[in-house]
Amino acid sequence: MKRMILSAMVAAGVIAGAGVAVSGEAEDKAIKARQAVMQLYSFNLGKLGAMVKGEMEYDAAQAKLAADNLVKAASIGQDAMWPEGTAMEDAGMEGKTWAKKAAWTTYPEVANKHKALQEAAAKMADAAGGGVDAIKAAIGGVGGSCKGCHENFRAPKK
């Protein structure tokens, strides 16, 4: 009963601060979404890396698929996944995100870094079907673009 009254009050906007709680949830979802995009990058780059290292047999179709996925993942519109107030330095964000405030305060630097990834991924997509050596030649560009953004805008997870 208590809960019903509470949720009715929240729905009616009677409880001050209820809006904050709701937007906190929205922020958590946005953070999870952008981390999920990162996981897609990581998974697909990992396949290509494994082929280069000989941990996975080269397969042109699989390589092309991974590279195309990278291109697609890097073309997902992420604007809504990076709302203001969701940097690790912001209130209540500890343990939820490792994105540094600098990503917002130095904008559009972070967008430039993202563009670098898109370009490197496109080169990888052209190369991936052409054998391990072609992947080897393109993978530094992709990995470098991840690193180029991370070293400025992501803190190590502890």
Closest of 85, 78, 101, 80 to residue 20, by C-alpha = 85
Sole binder of ligand HEC in the list 7, 16, 41, 126 (CB under 6 A): 41
Tell me if 98 sits within 8 A of 156, measured CB to CB.
yes
What's the closest the beta carbon of residue 105 comes to ligand HEC, in angstroms? 13
Q: Which stretch binds ligand HEC (CB under 6 A): 47-55, 60-68, 92-100, 123-131?
A: 92-100
* Residue ranges in 94-133 that form contacts with ligand HEC under rule CB under 6 A: 97-99, 103, 110, 113-114, 117
Q: Backbone dihedral region of 95: left (phi > 0), alpha (psi from -120 to 50 degrees) or beta?
A: left
Tell me whether residue 31 or residue 138 sits nearer to ligand HEC (CB atom). Answer: 31
In sequence order, which ranges of the chain are alpha helices (DSSP H)?
2-12, 18-53, 60-73, 102-105, 109-127, 132-153
Residue 69 binding ligand HEC, by CB under 6 A: no
Looking at the DSSP assignment, which residues form a beta bridge with residue 99? 154
List of residues 6+ apart from 157 with CB closer than 8 A: 98
Rounded to whole angstroms, how far apart are CA atoms 98 and 85? 13
Residue 67 binding ligand HEC, by CB under 6 A: no
Sole binder of ligand HEC in the list 10, 33, 35, 132 (CB under 6 A): 35
Residue 153 binding ligand HEC, by CB under 6 A: yes
Sole binder of ligand HEC in the list 45, 122, 135, 138 (CB under 6 A): 45
Binding site for ligand HEC (CB under 6 A): 31, 34-35, 38-39, 41-42, 45, 97-99, 103, 110, 113-114, 117, 142, 145-146, 149-150, 153-154
